[in-house]
A and B are shown apart, each in its own frame.
Chain A
Amino acid sequence: MREKQFEAMFAELYPVVLGYAARRTQWHVAEDVASQVFLVAWHRLDVVPDDDEHRKAWILVVARNVLANSQRARLRSARLDVRLRAGLAAGVPVVELDPADAVAERLVAGTAMRRLGPRDQEILQLAAWDGLDLDGLATVLGCSTGAAAMRLHRARTRLERLLQVGSHSSTLRPVGELDGADDGGDDGDATTDGGW
């Protein structure tokens, strides 16, 4: 019975966990993080929530902690990027430098987000990239739903303010402006590779 429960959870949430980690670190590290997260989940099936949304938020809490621990371990043993240090000092895992950043940087919003504090970045990313609702944000961040809503509102406002400043001062044109076309990077436009 436990095995069936775990297999169903694995099929549902492995992409969620791998995606969460891969958005913030290198792919091979993300796979390590996912392995550790499901090791934890396997041992603690007794505390995994039954309903879908809470289960997703629960496992992202574990992923967040495992990733932050992984980054802290590397902080002790390696010379790391200053942003990563700042994020860890604030107690949150952050998006590391990796090739994916180059894609994000071509978008003004991606660049502006990097100028926010680590906590602002985290809540914005959890909402936009990982698709968490306010309850999920509250669970992952360890606060009340009201506090999560307030934090999100403030972070979003600060991002908008940076975007307004950036639109007046940036000398770098995003790709879409160069060729006069939309960037085409919107998630909804991405095409799956299924069937190839």
Chain B
Amino acid sequence: MDDLDLTRRLLAGTNPVPAQALDGVADRPQAVALRRRLLATRRDPALPLGPLLRGGRRRADRYRRRAGAALVAVVLTVAVVVVASPWSTPDTASAETPPILSYGLVGATPFGKAEGKPAEATLRRLARVAAARPAAPHPGDIAYVRTDNWFFTASMDGKTRAVGIRPVASETWTAPDGSGVRHDRTSPPLRLEGWLPPGDPTGTVESTTLPAGTQIQPTAAQLAAAAGPGGVRAALIDGIGCVPGSSEADCLLQDIPQVHNQQVVPGVVDSEMWQMLAAEKGVVTLGAVTDRAGRPAIAITTSLELVAPVRCVLLIDPSDGALLGFEQVAMDPKAGYVLDVPAVVGFTAYLASGWATSLPS
């Protein structure tokens, strides 16, 4: 086995964007539009592109780097002139929030007008693969869940409005009686270009002890014991409730992540949830998407006619029917975010879940 093979074995599983996540990207509307724009552009082989065509430098060369930077500025200027802003996505309503994900069935349609397609068949397929998912090993009764979350944050200081994305990395350990421990590492709001502001780079960690009986959402065990998809639906609506004025489909989409936030959800329970949504009026799919952790997913949300002020988009793993995360997109100024809508106001990625033998000390 040579160094190439050994390297690939050592780093197996670390690739943040596997090749499979890129299937079909050249046929997506944005890529097709780019190709058309370029083909409609008059070629100029005399453009000074040399620095961009050279392999890595063998040694540091300050002069060449500066010359390269100057030429790149020329190239970028030409690019902006020749290709009039080809990389601004039309459905990013506000420059202050993260871009809306590129959903396969949305394409060039503004997200605020993206109807999607009926999700029944898709959800039934997801339910089948979820039902076939093997159960996680069960060495103990403590459910462990790790998530990365990002929340929209805005503050006013005089006439200045500071807007950012606040990342919160959470770990929860939950015992069968509902007691548990939660660790939240809250970092300062990210700049909108995605970088942390100066200061404490690690953020602050807050540990919360949850006494038994304080959690309202049904446990995975209770959902597993519920009688079929209808029982799961009733357990969610009765247990978590519904914001007044919201449709039940919208409530269910909001409720499902609350179960996953602290529970190890078996495949059979996910399967019943997807079956339940398949029968729900107003649930649509926005197609395939790559989530913010680079994983392929299927997007499920509510149809526009349900008029949810904040549209919740569930991202489900097509290979095993597991919930990978969810996105919150403000669709209506009434949502109260003081933003141009539609705009992403939060997202959560489920990164790990499993059973542990004890709560953390």
Measuring CB to CB, which residues of chain A are less than 8 angstroms from any residue of chain B? 2-3, 6-7, 10-11, 14-15, 18-19, 22-23, 26-28, 31-32, 34-36, 38-40, 42-47, 58, 61-62, 64-66, 69, 72, 74, 78-82, 91-92, 95-104, 106-107, 109-110, 113, 124-125, 127-129, 131, 133-134, 138-143, 149, 152-153, 155-156, 159-160, 163, 175, 178-181, 183, 185-188, 190-194, 196
Contacts and interface: CB of A to CB of B under 8 A. Distances in A.
A190 B10 contact: no
Contacts of A80: 195
A19 B53 CA distance: 19
Given A91-B57, A139-B55, A100 B294 contact: yes
Contacts of B191: 78-79
B141 interface: no
Of all A-B residue pairs in the complex, the 4 with the closest CB atoms, nearest first, are A179-B354, A142-B55, A191-B319, A100-B16
B178 to A, nearest CB: 21
A40 B351 contact: no
Nearest to A188: B12
A11 B352 CA distance: 35
Contact of B356 (A19, A23, A44, A178): A178
A44 B318 contact: no
A103 to B, nearest CB: 5
A185 B86 CA distance: 34
A79 B290 contact: no
A193 B288 contact: yes
B26 A10 contact: yes
B266 interface: no
- Residue in B26, B43, B56, B102 whose Cβ sees the most chain A Cβ within 10 Å: B56
Contacts of A19: 17, 19, 21-22
A153 B198 CA distance: 37
B122 interface: yes
Interface of B: 3-4, 6-8, 10-26, 30-31, 34-35, 38-39, 41, 43-45, 47, 49, 51-58, 60, 65, 68-69, 72, 75-76, 79, 82-83, 86-87, 89, 99, 102, 104, 122, 125, 136-137, 139, 144, 146, 148, 150, 169, 191, 193-198, 201, 287-288, 290, 292-298, 317-320, 349, 351-356
A99 B292 contact: yes
A113 B195 contact: no
Contact of A103 (B19, B47, B89, B295): B295
Contacts, number: 284
A80 B194 CA distance: 9
A190 B12 contact: no
A36 B79 contact: yes
Given A23-B16, A191-B20, A192-B296, A175 B351 contact: yes
A6 B39 contact: yes
B22 A15 contact: yes
Given A15-B19, A190-B20, A194-B24, A91 B56 contact: yes
A39 B79 contact: yes
B162 to A, nearest CB: 15
Contacts of A10: 26, 31, 35
A106 B86 contact: no
